[in-house]
């Protein structure tokens, strides 16, 4: 089995036209990186869908 590769996964999503958000930052899976994106991620998954356009 091939190890997971984020870049290959992102490329596969593009080829299949699957919407996604991909961030690549220096430092790998460190708490500093997680902390930077945690607030943004939580707002994204718990966004208020009750607003009427």
Query: Residue 20 domain-assigned?
Result: yes
The tens digit of pLDDT for each residue in 11-31 reads 888 899 988 887 777 877 788
Query: Residue 12 domain-assigned?
Result: yes
Query: Residue 52 domain-assigned?
Result: no
The tens digit of pLDDT for each residue in 26-50 reads 877 788 888 888 888 888 888 876 6
Contacts (Cβ under 8 Å, ≥6 apart) of 20: 10, 13
Query: Residue 14 domain-assigned?
Result: yes
Query: Residue 39 domain-assigned?
Result: yes
Chain Cα centroid distance, residue 32 = 16
Query: Residue 13 domain-assigned?
Result: yes
Query: Residue 16 domain-assigned?
Result: yes
Query: Residue 53 domain-assigned?
Result: no
Contacts (Cβ under 8 Å, ≥6 apart) of 24: 6, 7
Q: What is the pTM of this model?
A: 0.45
Q: How many structural domains does the chain have?
A: 1
Domain of residue 16: give its range: 6-45
């Amino acid at each position: 089995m091939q190890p997971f590769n984020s870049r290959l996964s992102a490329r596969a999503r593009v080829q299949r036209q699957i919407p996604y958000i991909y961030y690549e930052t220096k430092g790998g899976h460190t708490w500093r990186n997680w902390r930077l994106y945690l607030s943004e991620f939580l707002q994204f998954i718990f966004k208020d869908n009750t607003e009427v356009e």
